[in-house]
Copies of this chain bind each other. A is one copy, B any other.
Amino acid sequence: MRKVAILGIGQTTVDEHWDKSLKELAGEAGLLALADANREYVQSIFIGNMLSGALSKQDNISTLISDWLDLQGSESVKVEAACGSGAAALRNGLIAIASGEVDSALVIGVEKMTESLPVETTEALATAADADYEATQGLSFVALNALIMQRYLYTYGWKHTDFAQFSINAHSNALHNPFARLHMAITEEEYIHARMIAAPINLLDASPIGDGAAAVLLVPAESLKHPSGTYVTILGSASSTDTISVHNRNDPLWLRAAEISAKKAYHQAGVNPDDIDFFELHDAFSVMSALSLEACGFTEKGQAPRLAIEGEIRPSGKIPITTRGGLKARGHPVGATGIYQIVEATQQLRGEAGLSQISDAKIGMTQNIGGSGATIITHILQKNTV
């Protein structure tokens, strides 16, 4: 298979974009990625999106967007894996390039969530859980994660306060990301006293939704015959599933799909957790940061809060996470999130992350989750210098 390079990146701010539709957001990010790559044409377009049918009454958005980009005649498809749709689209675009079937792929993650009523958005998000055995029992997504966090506190003996650093770090990092939804530092005091949503999850444990789009242009690395300067390649890509319902897992505190996909990606890339310079993980809720760090081998089971408390997840720590704000503060436009992670990792590896820059970042990892750990997709990216 051919090695794949990320030639261009683009993103919109994550916000309430009342003036922009789904296709306008996706188009903006797509055109920015094309401009960044100095290209005008692509052979194929892969769209990561979850909720266009439910919230914008629009399906077939891959063709809508390729039409909007004036790329009629290209190949185009939408890929959906709930909140993991972005990385799932990336992986399909990556395989299409690696196979030799296409020579360029524009992968866009896009979501439009704030124009519908909050109850509609919450109901639409619940469609990522099992409709028969979770959603219809009244389990919203925050409720599912609250049960997981409660179990984590009970099993490992941590206090809710011990998760504060996950949110504090994310908010701190987002201060330097102009595309983030929330630009406000938070304190431990604020974290402790934030409004409760579903105990023990409070407002500062949860990521905000938003409208947004992010895009990357993929090409075969071999096509960069005279690569000038720094470019980023994808060293590892893997996807795995678990049971869709949390209650069907032997251990609800172990993200088996994260372990499987991370191990596959490490193997492909020829690296281990010690080689990862930063990790853009899927912190939809603070407890998910802990579970991801543990399942991917960055710390022992039940020990992730210690990593956070000791400052090891901060930009200067052993394993910096959510370096540009993560889902918690950059925001979580669900189907777009996986591509925001790739764009941000590319910025870090190019040395374009400004005041969020992780010094000497050479290898970065991203992980995007669909459902409550049901579908997990891991990518490992590398900086290449000519």
Contacts and interface: CB of A to CB of B under 8 A. Distances in A.
Interface stretch (A67-75, A182-190, A211-219, A315-323): A67-75
A255 to B, nearest CB: 12
Contact of A101 (B56, B95, B248): B95
Interface of A: 1, 21, 50-51, 53-54, 56-60, 62-64, 66-67, 71-82, 88, 91-92, 95-96, 98-101, 123-124, 126-128, 130-132, 135, 238-245, 248, 256-257, 260, 370-371, 374-375
Given A54-B53, A132-B21, A241 B374 contact: no
B81 A60 contact: yes
Given A1-B99, A58-B127, A63 B260 contact: no
27 contacts: A51-B59, A53-B124, A59-B80, A59-B127, A59-B128, A60-B81, A60-B82, A60-B128, A60-B244, A62-B241, A63-B81, A63-B244, A66-B241, A67-B241, A67-B243, A72-B241, A72-B242, A72-B256, A73-B240, A73-B241, A76-B81, A76-B239, A76-B241, A78-B79, A78-B81, A79-B79, A95-B101
A268 to B, nearest CB: 10
B54 A54 contact: yes
Given A77-B239, A241-B73, A243-B67, A135 B59 contact: no
Q: Is the interface of A mostly helix, strand, loop or mixed?
A: mixed
A79 B81 contact: no
Contacts of A124: 53
A62 B244 CA distance: 10
